[in-house]
Amino acid sequence: MKVAGFLCKIDKLGRIVIPKPIRQEFGLNVNDELELFTNENGIEMRKYRKKCLFCGNEEIPQLLEYKGKIICENCKNELENL
Protein backbone atom coordinates (compact mmCIF):
# COMPACT_ATOMS: atom_id res chain seq x y z
CA MET A 1 0.00 0.00 0.00
CA LYS A 2 1.36 3.41 -1.01
CA VAL A 3 1.07 6.29 1.48
CA ALA A 4 -0.78 9.11 -0.29
CA GLY A 5 0.05 11.82 2.26
CA PHE A 6 -3.51 12.81 3.17
CA LEU A 7 -5.16 12.64 6.56
CA CYS A 8 -8.93 12.05 6.71
CA LYS A 9 -11.09 12.59 9.76
CA ILE A 10 -14.07 10.37 10.42
CA ASP A 11 -17.19 12.41 11.19
CA LYS A 12 -19.98 11.56 13.65
CA LEU A 13 -21.70 9.36 11.10
CA GLY A 14 -18.53 7.44 10.23
CA ARG A 15 -17.96 9.24 6.93
CA ILE A 16 -14.69 10.38 5.45
CA VAL A 17 -13.94 12.65 2.52
CA ILE A 18 -11.66 11.14 -0.10
CA PRO A 19 -9.34 13.98 -1.17
CA LYS A 20 -10.02 15.32 -4.66
CA PRO A 21 -6.58 14.38 -6.09
CA ILE A 22 -7.22 10.75 -5.12
CA ARG A 23 -10.77 10.83 -6.57
CA GLN A 24 -9.35 12.20 -9.81
CA GLU A 25 -6.49 9.70 -9.94
CA PHE A 26 -8.86 6.75 -9.55
CA GLY A 27 -11.76 8.16 -11.58
CA LEU A 28 -14.15 8.27 -8.62
CA ASN A 29 -17.31 10.25 -9.26
CA VAL A 30 -20.49 11.10 -7.34
CA ASN A 31 -22.58 7.97 -6.67
CA ASP A 32 -19.78 5.56 -7.58
CA GLU A 33 -19.65 2.59 -5.25
CA LEU A 34 -16.58 1.45 -3.35
CA GLU A 35 -15.72 -1.99 -2.03
CA LEU A 36 -13.90 -2.15 1.30
CA PHE A 37 -11.46 -4.91 2.16
CA THR A 38 -9.58 -5.53 5.37
CA ASN A 39 -6.30 -7.33 5.91
CA GLU A 40 -3.51 -7.35 8.47
CA ASN A 41 -2.26 -3.98 7.15
CA GLY A 42 -5.57 -2.15 7.49
CA ILE A 43 -8.41 -1.18 5.17
CA GLU A 44 -8.31 -1.00 1.38
CA MET A 45 -11.01 0.40 -0.85
CA ARG A 46 -11.58 -0.12 -4.57
CA LYS A 47 -14.00 1.32 -7.05
CA TYR A 48 -16.72 -1.26 -7.41
CA ARG A 49 -16.91 -2.75 -10.86
CA LYS A 50 -19.64 -5.12 -11.84
CA LYS A 51 -18.25 -8.55 -12.57
CA CYS A 52 -19.55 -11.99 -13.38
CA LEU A 53 -20.51 -13.96 -10.28
CA PHE A 54 -18.93 -17.12 -11.74
CA CYS A 55 -15.75 -16.12 -13.61
CA GLY A 56 -15.06 -12.50 -12.56
CA ASN A 57 -15.37 -11.12 -16.12
CA GLU A 58 -15.66 -7.32 -15.98
CA GLU A 59 -16.33 -6.66 -19.66
CA ILE A 60 -19.36 -4.37 -19.47
CA PRO A 61 -21.00 -5.22 -22.85
CA GLN A 62 -21.00 -8.90 -21.89
CA LEU A 63 -22.56 -8.53 -18.45
CA LEU A 64 -26.20 -9.36 -17.80
CA GLU A 65 -28.20 -9.08 -14.59
CA TYR A 66 -30.48 -11.90 -13.47
CA LYS A 67 -32.33 -11.83 -10.12
CA GLY A 68 -29.89 -9.26 -8.74
CA LYS A 69 -26.79 -11.26 -9.76
CA ILE A 70 -24.34 -10.38 -12.53
CA ILE A 71 -23.44 -13.02 -15.10
CA CYS A 72 -21.43 -12.79 -18.30
CA GLU A 73 -22.55 -14.01 -21.71
CA ASN A 74 -20.00 -16.88 -21.68
CA CYS A 75 -21.18 -18.28 -18.33
CA LYS A 76 -24.82 -17.82 -19.36
CA ASN A 77 -24.14 -19.90 -22.48
CA GLU A 78 -22.33 -22.57 -20.45
CA LEU A 79 -25.26 -22.80 -18.01
CA GLU A 80 -27.69 -23.16 -20.88
CA ASN A 81 -25.71 -26.16 -22.10
CA LEU A 82 -25.61 -28.07 -18.80
CA–CA gap between residue 82 and residue 77 (Å, rounded): 9
Task: For the chain, give the number of residues.
Answer: 82
Which of 16, 17, 55, 79 touches Zn ion (CB under 5 A)?
55
Q: Does 28 bind Zn ion (CB under 5 A)?
A: no
Among 28, 50, 54, 70, binds Zn ion (CB under 5 A): 54
Closest CB to Zn ion among residues 30, 60? 60
Tally Cβ neighbours within 10 Å of residue 68.
Answer: 5
Give contact residues for Zn ion (rule: CB under 5 A): 52, 54-55, 57, 72, 75
